C-alpha cells in the first residue's frame, strides 16, 4: 500500500498537477492586472480576499470549462468542489465590503459565455477566445480600483497599458509556438504592435519605450526557434516592464 508519507516525488507531482492547470502564462494575466489596480488606486484590505477569489475563480473556471469541453464532469468534480466554495466565500466577502464590484458581473458573464461557447466547440485556442480571456483579466484593474474606492478614470492608464500588452502577447506567443512560420499571424502581430506603440504615446515616454521594445521582440524573435520556457521568461520581463509603466502613467 502507498501512503502519503511514502509516495514518490513523481507521484506527488502528478497529484499536484491534478489541481494546477498547465497554463503557466495565465498566472501573469492574473497577477499583473490585480497588482496594477492595487498599486494605481492604493491598497485596501479587501484586495486580499479579492486576490484569493480571483485565483480560486480562475482555477474553478478552468476545470469547469474542461468539463464543458470533455462532457465529463466526474473527471473534475473534486477540483470544482475544492475551488468553487473558496471562490464563492472570498467573493462574498469582497461584495460585502464593496458592493459596487457587482457592476462588473454582466461583463464577466458575457466574456465567460464566449469561453463556454469555444469550449463546447473544442476551440479554446481560437484567437477570439484568447482575446475574451485577456479582457476578463484586464478588467481586474477596474475591479481592484473599485475595491479601493477609486473611479475608472483614475486607473484608465493602468488598464490601457495591461490591455495593450496582453492582447499583443496573444498574437506574439502564437507566432512563437502554435502559429510559428505563419506569415498571416506574423503580419497581424506586427501591425498590432505598431499600433500599440502609437496608443502608448498617451501614457507617456516610458510607455512608448517599453512598447517599442515589445515591438522589437515581436519582429525579431519569431525568426528563432525558442523553447516555450524561454518565451515565458522573456514575457516575465515584459510583464514587469509593463507593470512599472502601468502604475506610473
Q: What is the DSSP string of 170-216?
A: HHHHHHHTTTTT-HHHHHHHHHHHHHHHHHHGGG-HHHHHHHHHHHH
Q: Which of 8-12, 97-101, 150-154, 170-174 has the lowest mean pLDDT?
A: 8-12
pLDDT at position 16, please? 62
The x, y and z cell numbers of residue 25, run together, are 502564462
Q: The cell 498599486 sits on which residue? A: 39
Show Cβ contacts of residue 61 under 8 Å, excluding neighbours closer than 6 positions: 112, 115
| H-type alpha helices, the chain | 9-17, 26-41, 47-70, 77-97, 105-120, 127-147, 152-176, 183-200, 205-220, 228-248
Rounded to the nearest integer, the mean pLDDT of the chain is 91
Q: Which of 18-22, 86-90, 184-188 has the lowest mean pLDDT?
A: 18-22
- Which position has the higher pLDDT, 17 or 75? 75
Contact 35, 143 (CB under 8 A): no
Q: What is the pLDDT of residues 105-143, one digit of tens each?
A: 999 999 999 999 999 998 988 999 999 999 999 999 999
pLDDT at position 18, please? 78
Torsion angles phi and psi, residue 22, rounded to 5: -80, 50
Torsion angles phi and psi, residue 126, rounded to 5: -60, 150
Cα 87 from Cα 32, distance rounded (Å): 19
The x, y and z cell numbers of residue 105, run together, are 458581473
Is the pLDDT score of 237 beyond 80? yes
Is the pLDDT score of 229 beyond 50? yes
Q: What is the pLDDT of residues 44-55, one digit of tens each?
A: 999 999 999 999
CA atoms within 13 A on the CB side of 245: 29
What's the pLDDT band for 228 if we cut at 50, 70, 90? confident
Instruction: Give mean pLDDT, residues 72-85.
Output: 92
Cα 197 from Cα 203, distance rounded (Å): 10
pLDDT at position 198, please? 96
pLDDT at position 8, please? 54
Q: What is the pLDDT of residues 8-28, one digit of tens each?
A: 555 555 556 777 777 777 889
Query: How many C-beta atoms lie closer than 10 Å to residue 184's C-beta?
Result: 9
Amino acid at each position: 500500500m502507498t501512503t502519503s508519507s511514502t509516495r514518490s516525488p513523481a507521484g506527488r507531482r502528478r497529484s499536484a498537477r491534478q489541481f494546477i492547470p498547465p497554463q503557466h502564462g495565465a498566472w501573469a494575466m492574473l497577477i499583473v492586472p490585480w497588482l496594477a489596480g492595487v498599486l494605481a488606486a492604493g491598497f485596501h484590505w479587501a484586495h486580499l480576499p479579492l486576490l484569493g477569489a480571483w485565483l480560486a475563480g480562475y482555477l474553478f473556471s478552468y476545470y469547469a470549462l474542461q468539463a464543458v469541453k470533455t462532457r465529463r464532469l466526474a473527471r473534475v468534480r473534486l477540483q470544482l468542489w475544492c475551488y468553487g466554495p473558496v471562490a464563492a466565500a472570498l467573493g462574498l466577502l469582497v461584495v460585502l465590503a464593496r458592493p459596487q464590484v457587482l457592476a462588473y458581473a454582466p461583463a464577466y458573464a458575457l466574456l465567460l459565455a464566449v469561453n463556454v461557447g469555444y469550449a463546447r466547440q473544442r476551440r479554446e485556442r481560437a484567437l477570439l477566445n484568447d482575446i475574451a480571456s485577456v479582457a476578463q483579466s484586464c478588467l481586474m484593474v477596474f475591479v481592484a480600483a473599485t475595491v479601493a474606492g477609486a473611479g475608472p478614470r483614475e486607473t484608465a492608464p493602468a488598464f490601457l497599458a495591461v490591455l495593450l500588452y496582453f492582447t499583443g502577447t496573444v498574437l506574439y506567443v502564437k507566432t512563437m509556438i502554435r502559429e510559428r512560420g505563419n506569415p498571416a499571424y506574423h503580419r497581424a502581430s506586427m501591425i498590432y504592435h505598431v499600433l500599440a506603440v502609437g496608443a502608448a504615446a498617451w501614457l507617456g515616454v516610458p510607455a512608448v519605450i517599453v512598447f517599442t521594445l515589445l515591438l522589437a521582440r515581436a519582429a525579431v524573435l519569431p525568426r528563432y526557434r525558442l523553447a516555450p520556457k524561454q518565451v515565458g521568461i522573456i514575457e516575465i520581463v515584459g510583464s514587469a516592464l509593463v507593470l512599472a509603466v502601468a502604475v506610473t502613467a
